[in-house]
Amino acid sequence: MKKVELVEAVAEKTGLTKSDSSRAIDAVFTTITEALTKGDKVPLVGFGTFAVSERSAREARNPRTGEKLSIPARVVPTFKAGSALKDAVNK
């Protein structure tokens, strides 16, 4: 599902206009992004939890040349699905 399709589905289910639905969806995404940037978790009961995870620095190899590469440490966003979402998907 693309964002345009999501906006249309939200507009249909809520009775909002497409522009209002788009602004609401953008606000949710922006709020989640800001919370993750601060290092906070965003638990949505029945859906899942957005969080950040730290990956340590490591060495890897270029598969073509065999050359060693240094991959720096970084922080990545993660999502863990809640049980209600898992159950809905597995029906």
16 lies in the same domain as 49: no
What is the rounded average pLDDT of the residues 42-69? 94
Tens digit of pLDDT for each residue in 2-42? 999 999 999 999 999 999 999 999 999 999 999 999 999 99
pLDDT at 48 over 90: yes
What is the pLDDT at residue 73?
A: 96
The percent of residues above 70 in pLDDT, for the chain, comes to: 100
How far does Cα 83 stand from its chain's mean position? 17
CB 7 within 8 A of CB 18: yes
Domain tally for the chain?
2
Q: Do 32 and 42 touch, CB atoms closer than 8 A?
A: yes
> In CATH, what number is assigned to the domain containing residue 62?
4.10.520.10
Q: Considering the entire predicted model, what is its pTM?
A: 0.80
Q: Name 32's Cβ contacts closer than 8 Å, sequence gap at least 6.
A: 42, 50
Check whether residue 58 and residue 81 sit in a common domain: yes
CA-to-CA dists, residue 56 to 33, 68, 88, angstroms: 22, 17, 34
